Amino acid sequence: MLGSRKRFSVIFPALILISVSLFAITAGLLRARPTRYVVLRVDDIQDFAFRDAQLLLLNYSVETDLVLSLGVVSGMFGEDFEILDAVRLAVGSGSEVGIHGWRHEDLAVLSFTEQRDILFQAKSRIRQLLDVDASLLIPPMFSYNDDTISAMCEESCSIISTCGDFDEPGFSSEVKNIPATVELSILSDGVWQMKSAEIVVGEVERSFELFGYAAIVTHPQEFVRDGELNQVNVESFVNLVENLGSNCEFTTFEKLSQSR
């Protein structure tokens, strides 16, 4: 009996040591793994267009604490009070607002002065309606040029989100580019074809490898077919969000810029 106690007195501390070591290793691995950030960018937020889809995305984000990056067409925003209230709720829940043009212009064909005026007008309207000082520019049609960057510097816009596939002009130290890296749908002959959740997840994983983050761009019209909500696409989007949410953290461009 005495021998058993001696053996136990030797084995028990060894077990504690092994357990502590395993815990330390596990904790170290968890600390070493970087956070996998995903931005969900929703362009073309505006009055009266594709309303059911806009309201679906905005309300879903609030109900599920899903932060979005909202590309607001500022000159076509503010008169549809249901959309306005839904955006306010989303912003109150952590979503960010980006300038998506004044009337969805091709910025690259405009002069520096015209672009600067658009940014000034857009920032003023967003501040008036949403009490947000927008610092993010989402150029319509991914189109911009060097004058865009100069106008951004004058109007205190510090982040631009373009497209990772496009050739891009130089940036000043005052403007950080965080492009979209994944498109939720493919536009073919004027029709949006949404990719499967499996394909998007694969592209997100590839984006992590190439860029260290993923930014998925979508539009409300991708969820509409023949004037009505496309329930198949809605379900695919929900499945995608739930899938990514299991091992990624949804964030905004502004917060992502602070971590890079």
Whether residue 21 is contained in a domain is answered as no
Report the alpha-carbon distance of residue 215 to residue 126 in Å, rounded: 23
This model's pTM is above 0.95: no
User: Is the residue at 180 inside a domain?
Assistant: yes
Number of Cβ within a 10 Å radius of residue 176: 19
Residue 72 pLDDT grade (very low, low, confident, very high; cuts 50, 70, 90): very high
Residue 187 belongs to a domain: yes
Which pLDDT tens digit goes with each residue over 12-55? 444 444 444 444 444 444 445 579 999 999 999 999 999 999 99
Contact partners, residue 46, CB within 8 Å, separation at least 6: 72, 73, 76, 77, 80, 83
Bigger pLDDT: 121 or 187? 121
For residue 201, tell me if it sits in a domain. Answer: yes
Q: Is residue 92 part of a domain?
A: yes
CATH number of the domain that 48 lies in? 3.20.20.370
The answer to whether residue 31 sits within a structural domain is no
Structural domain span for residue 131: 36-259
Average pLDDT over residues 223-240: 95
45 domain residue, yes or no: yes
The pLDDT tens digits of the residues spanning 151-201 come to: 999 999 999 999 876 445 445 678 999 999 999 999 998 889 999 999 999
Nearest Cα residue to 139 out of 206, 70, 71, 195:
71
Residue type, 151: A
Residue bearing the bigger pLDDT, 3 or 176 = 176
Q: How many domains does the chain have?
A: 1
Instruction: Point out the least confidently predicted range of 72-81, 87-96, 161-170, 188-197.
Output: 161-170
Residue 81 counted as domain residue? yes
